[in-house]
């Protein structure tokens, strides 16, 4: 047995050696995974950022395009800087900014790339590119920023910016990484998923000095980026530019809609700003300046500002009264100014006359009949029941809740309910005399300019609307827009009741808005003067035209400009003429609006 031990030991050693040789052969010849791991140390993974989709107006005019910029990226673990002073001078960065950027990069990852210097211009890139080989761990990443050839429609188009830590944390798709750009407002934000495209990846070989040695495996593992989808907006840029010219130096809003589709033709928030200010390397500085401006140019008034609708709301009251049978065209009330103040006009008036002359006492009395129907004997409870029923009908006109426009931060406005007044006065402690100001669109009622433009579209369409929107097509296909913008929404009032309303609105132009009248276009409109406790009242006007076949509906708010028949009606009339005729023939009226002297 002892004589066999050497043989057994030799056999054991032979078998172990054979196993090791087989494993070594497998590793070195059959399996190249270890080779790949070794090669990966000399491979850079470069994300290929796609170009964002372009944005056009409804007539094919380019509104937003891309300009290339360059980010200097750093892999902290690989970076070697021998002379910091020379490095800072070459790349035009202060030592303090360099330290801050490197600290942030190391905090993110020592082996993954981070931006060191962002948004380098083409000129600066040409100056520094030959020196990159001297600094392992540095490479250039090409991106793009947005440019706006028209310098208009900033609030509608929106802007992009670097993704925040909070947004990055909330990105469940894991699409974004630190330093990526994302839509922050307007169409850029709402249609981010369409516009952003799809990232690609490239792998390239570099030597120990960071010199590019060509694609890894001849690009076998590379994937190409896919550009974002192009968007056609509903905006008419010629009308938008003209409206911004009229609103120059003023505060307020203009929203114009194509009634039959809900497509927004113009959306103006004044004061406005050049969207090119929020692009490129000066984004942070310019945003801070705009955000601190006391005139609040970043505030998107068409969807965020809320005002009392004023006398324009009388038309909604008329339609609810007609539909419920409380009012008929012959319903007549006297202009009793002991109830509420009014201007001079014939008295008594029927419904047509009440709209034409904007009679406040008429609607005070009509609204009381709409609210107090003696459903119960307790007048307090009867008022609450009537108010809640009325509110439900009003909200079908798109008031008191978000319409759903394709821009974020839309406000809902307010149509007060019984609970609203219960919280203020206590249950059973308020009645019609508490809320009568609602009859003429004042009091606790609030609407946005977008909602008022949508009202004008409802009056033009005789009882229906499509949610106002800014998207007309995606990659040229109109069927790709969100489905909610293709649904016809009825307000619950028979079309026959709108005949009287449209006729009265056309006559009202000659009563309270004579400046808006045109000889060759039949305009139907309604003035409003929204009370403002902080200064001069706001001038309000809505209209649609031509009356026989409406192609444009519009709402104009000019803050602190007084009576609606002046500033707002004149602005709306000029914009309607511009859209329907392609030119403006009333130079004197245009000069009047441009001068802005409405209070006299």
Q: What's the rounded mean pLDDT across residues 378-392? A: 97
- Measure the CA angle with vertex 465, ends 464 and 471; round to 5°: 160
User: Radius of gyration of the chain from Cα atoms?
Assistant: 33
- Cα within 13 Å of Cα(263), Cβ side: 18
What's the distance, CA 379 to chain centroid? 45
- 411-454, pLDDT tens digit by residue? 999 999 999 999 999 999 999 999 999 999 999 999 999 999 99
Q: How far is it, in rounded angstroms, from Cα 169 to Cα 166?
A: 5
Residue with tokens 């056009």: 56
Token reading at 290? 């705009």
pTM of the predicted structure, to 2 decimals? 0.86
pLDDT for 30 equals 54
Residue with tokens 């005789």: 462
* pLDDT over 60 at 41, yes or no: no
Q: How far is it, in rounded angstroms, from Cα 566 to Cα 564?
A: 5
- DSSP structural state of residue 547: S
Confidence of residue 40 (pLDDT cuts 50, 70, 90): very low
What's the distance, CA 391 to chain centroid? 28
Token reading at 470? 């800014």
Q: Are 326 and 369 in contact (CB under 8 A)?
A: yes
Q: What's the rounded mean pLDDT across residues 235-239? A: 98
Dump the DSSP string for 187-244.
Answer: HHHHTHHHHS-B-EEEEEEE-TT--EEEEGGGGTT-B--BPPPPEEES--HHHHHHHH
| Nearest residue to 522 (alpha-carbon basis) of 580, 464, 475, 473 | 580
pLDDT for 23 equals 66
pLDDT for 70 equals 87
pLDDT for 129 equals 86
* 3-class state of residue 140 by DSSP: strand
Q: Are 571 and 247 in contact (CB under 8 A)?
A: yes
**What is the number of helices (H) and of strands (E) in the chain?**
22, 18
Burial of 1 (0-12, 13-18, 19+ CB in 10 A): exposed
Q: Are 307 and 255 in contact (CB under 8 A)?
A: no
| Nearest residue to 180 (alpha-carbon basis) of 166, 164, 194 | 164
* pLDDT over 50 at 402, yes or no: yes
pLDDT for 302 equals 97
* pLDDT over 70 at 600, yes or no: no
What's the distance, CA 44 to chain centroid? 38
Q: Is the dihedral of CA 239, 242, 246, 250 positive or negative?
A: positive
Say which range, 29-43, 135-149, 180-194, has the weakest mean pLDDT: 29-43
Of residues 515 and 303, more confidently modeled: 303
Q: How far is it, in rounded angstroms, from Cα 542 to Cα 525?
A: 5
Q: Are 157 and 471 in contact (CB under 8 A)?
A: no
pLDDT for 191 equals 97
Cis peptide before 232 (omega within 30 of 0): no
> How many Cβ atoms sit within 10 Å of the Cβ of residue 88?
16
* pLDDT over 60 at 77, yes or no: yes
| Nearest residue to 349 (alpha-carbon basis) of 316, 313, 318 | 318
Of residues 109 and 2, more confidently modeled: 109
pLDDT for 37 equals 47
Q: 52 to each of 4, 133, 183, how far by Cα in Å?
A: 79, 30, 10
Cis peptide before 46 (omega within 30 of 0): no
Torsion (CA) 272, 277, 283, 284 in degrees, nearest 10: -50
Q: What's the rounded mean pLDDT across residues 141-157? A: 91
* pLDDT over 70 at 181, yes or no: yes
Q: At a CB cut-off of 8 Å and minimum separation 6, what does 215 contact? A: 202, 203, 204, 205, 222
Confidence of residue 29 (pLDDT cuts 50, 70, 90): low
Residue count of the chain, please give it: 600
Q: Is the dihedral of CA 128, 133, 136, 137 positive or negative?
A: positive
Q: At a CB cut-off of 8 Å and minimum separation 6, what does 245 contact? A: 594
Residue 198 pairs in a beta bridge with 226
- Measure the CA angle with vertex 168, ends 162 and 173; round to 5°: 120
Q: How far is it, in rounded angstroms, from Cα 287 to Cα 277?
A: 8
Backbone angles phi, psi at 530, to 5 degrees: -80, 120
- 455-487, pLDDT tens digit by residue? 999 999 999 999 999 999 999 999 999 999 999
- Measure the CA angle with vertex 550, ends 257 and 314; round to 5°: 75
Buried b (16+ CB within 10 A) or exposed e, 262-298: bbbbbbbbbbbbebbbbbbeebeebbeebeeeeebbb
Say which range, 49-53, 185-189, 490-494, has the weakest mean pLDDT: 49-53
Q: Is the dihedral of CA 585, 587, 592, 594 positive or negative?
A: positive
> How many Cβ atoms sit within 10 Å of the Cβ of residue 126?
11
Q: Are 231 and 74 in contact (CB under 8 A)?
A: no
| Nearest residue to 239 (alpha-carbon basis) of 259, 257, 252 | 257
Longest Cα–Cα distance in the chain: 136
Confidence of residue 3 (pLDDT cuts 50, 70, 90): low
Q: What's the rounded mean pLDDT across residues 363-379? A: 96
pLDDT for 27 equals 55
Confidence of residue 8 (pLDDT cuts 50, 70, 90): confident
Of residues 371 and 23, more confidently modeled: 371
**What percent of the chain is predicted at pLDDT more than 90?**
64
Q: What's the rounded mean pLDDT across residues 147-155? A: 94
């Amino acid at each position: 047995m002892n004589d066999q031990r050497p043989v057994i030991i030799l056999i054991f050693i032979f078998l172990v050696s054979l196993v090791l040789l087989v494993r070594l052969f497998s590793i070195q010849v059959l399996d190249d995974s270890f080779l790949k791991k070794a090669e990966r140390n000399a491979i850079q993974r470069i994300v290929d950022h796609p170009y964002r989709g372009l944005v056009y107006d409804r007539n094919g005019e380019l509104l937003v395009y891309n300009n290339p910029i360059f980010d200097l990226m750093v892999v902290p673990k690989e970076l070697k800087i021998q002379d910091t002073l020379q490095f800072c001078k070459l790349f035009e960065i202060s030592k303090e900014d360099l330290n801050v950027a490197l600290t942030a990069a190391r905090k993110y990852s020592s082996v993954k790339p981070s931006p060191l210097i962002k948004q380098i211009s083409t000129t600066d890139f040409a100056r520094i590119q030959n020196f990159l080989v001297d600094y392992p761990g540095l490479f250039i990443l090409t991106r793009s920023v947005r440019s706006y050839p028209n310098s208009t429609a900033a609030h509608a188009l929106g802007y992009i910016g670097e993704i925040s830590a909070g947004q990055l944390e909330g990105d469940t798709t894991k699409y974004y990484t630190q330093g990526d750009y994302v839509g922050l407002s307007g169409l850029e934000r709402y249609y981010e998923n369409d516009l952003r495209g799809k990232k690609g990846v490239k792998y390239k070989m570099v030597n120990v000095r960071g010199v590019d040695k060509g694609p890894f495996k001849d690009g076998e593992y590379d994937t190409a980026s896919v550009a974002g989808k192009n968007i056609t907006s509903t905006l008419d840029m010629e009308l938008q530019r003209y409206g911004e010219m009229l609103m120059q130096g003023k505060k307020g809003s203009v929203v114009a809609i194509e009634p039959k589709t809900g497509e927004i033709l113009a959306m103006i928030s004044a004061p406005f700003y050049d969207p090119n200010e929020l692009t490129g390397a000066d984004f942070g500085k310019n945003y801070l300046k705009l955000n601190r401006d006391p005139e609040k140019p970043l505030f998107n008034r068409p969807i965020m500002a809320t005002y009392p609708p004023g006398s324009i709301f009388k038309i909604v009251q008329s339609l609810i009264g007609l539909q419920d049978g409380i009012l008929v065209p012959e319903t007549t009330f006297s202009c009793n100014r002991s109830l509420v103040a009014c201007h001079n006009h014939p008295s008594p008036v029927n419904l047509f006359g009440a709209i034409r002359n904007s009679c406040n006492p008429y609607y005070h009395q009509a609204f009381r009949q709409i609210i107090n129907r003696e459903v119960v004997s307790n007048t307090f409870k009867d008022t609450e029941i009537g108010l809640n029923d009325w509110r439900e009908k009003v909200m079908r006109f798109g008031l008191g809740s978000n319409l759903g426009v394709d821009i974020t931060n839309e406000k809902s406005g307010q149509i007060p309910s019984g609970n609203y007044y219960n919280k203020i006065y206590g249950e059973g402690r308020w009645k019609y005399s508490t809320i009568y100001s609602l009859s003429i669109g004042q009091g606790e009622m609030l609407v946005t300019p977008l909602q008022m433009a949508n009202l004008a579209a409802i009056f033009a369409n005789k009882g229906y609307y499509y949610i106002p929107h800014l998207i007309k097509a995606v990659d040229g296909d109109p069927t790709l827009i969100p489905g909610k913008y293709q649904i016809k929404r009825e307000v619950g009032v028979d079309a026959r009741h709108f005949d009287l309303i449209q006729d009265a609105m056309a006559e009202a132009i000659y009563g309270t808005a004579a400046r808006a009248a045109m000889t060759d276009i039949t305009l139907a409109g309604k003035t409003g003067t929204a009370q403002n406790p902080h200064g001069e009242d706001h001038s309000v006007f809505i209209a649609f035209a031509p009356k026989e076949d409406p192609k444009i509906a519009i709402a104009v708010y000019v803050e602190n400009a007084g009576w609606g028949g002046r500033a707002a009606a004149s602005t709306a009339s000029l914009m309607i003429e511009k859209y329907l005729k392609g030119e403006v023939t009333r130079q004197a009226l245009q000069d009047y609006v441009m001068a802005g002297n409405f209070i006299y």
